[in-house]
Amino acid sequence: MNQPLKVLLVDDEPLARARLRTLLADCRAPGASVEAEAADAPQAMLCLQQQAFDVALIDIHMPGTDGLSLARTLRSLVAPPAVVFVTAHAEHALQAFELEALDYLTKPVRLERLQLALQKVQKWLQAERALLPQSTDEVLIVQERGRTERVPVAEVLYLKAELKYLTLRTATRSYILEGSLNELEARYPQRLLRVHRNALVARSAVRALERQNDGPEGEAWAVRLSGLDELLLVSRRQLAAVRELLLG
């Protein structure tokens, strides 16, 4: 049996969010569970940093960053949710589909139309999951807070050694992992690149190499990864490897 879709509601109007919650509660299979709500784009990004969602229902006209700009930002995430726009304005439909939105609903939303959108999301998720690696060699097993979770290596943005543990970072959250950077580097040489003695990054996520303020040993450099504001320092020894990756 399919699990209810995990939904993020993004709309600056509380009454609009309340109506969507009511409609979603009435939806049949696959069903939907509203996991979080956001009144603007910054709140939405904070929610996405804290947990994963199957779909984001996004209003277009919001104060500050609008829904279209938020959707562009979501495309930079390694594992973005499906996007369904929910708006009172029909004139942005073309832009919405250029951003690969799965659907475009106009207010007032009808239950039957919302149900159809959720079915599209479910089919999209099934297709995406079929592409995920199934081999246990392509997932990392994380055990924390009494639960065990499989994190696909394809979702890893970086691994950083801190004290006795590793911090594993994906686009949506961080995990604590037991293991060795040397072991992971040897196991996934095609996926992970050493940038510092205490850090590995996903080769596919590297977007830029940026010069920082000079440190005690001279010029300092950091790597920028897709979907993250955080920069990771690059050691002088690994600088050439990062440059080769970007040029290649």
Length, in residues, of the chain: 248
Q: pTM of this prediction?
A: 0.56
Vertex 181 angle, CA 180 and 183, to 5°: 65
Say if CB 32 and CB 20 are below 8 A apart: no
Q: Is the pLDDT of residue 218 over 80?
A: no
Higher-pLDDT residue of 13 and 144 is: 13
d(C-alpha 166, C-alpha 145), whole Å: 16
d(C-alpha 210, C-alpha 222), whole Å: 5
One of 2.60.40.10, 2.160.10.10, 2.40.50.1020, 2.40.50.140 is the CATH number of 146-247, namely: 2.40.50.1020
Using one digit for the tens of pLDDT, what is the confidence trace for 141-178? 887 766 778 899 999 999 999 877 899 999 999 998 87
The overall average pLDDT reported for the chain is 87
Domain 5-130 has CATH 3.40.50.2300: yes
Q: What is the pLDDT of residue 15?
A: 96
d(C-alpha 61, C-alpha 38), whole Å: 14
Which residue ranges make up each domain of the chain? Answer: 5-130, 146-247
pLDDT category of residue 215 using cuts at 50, 70 and 90: low
Say if CB 245 and CB 96 are below 8 A apart: no
Structure tokens at 114: 């919302």
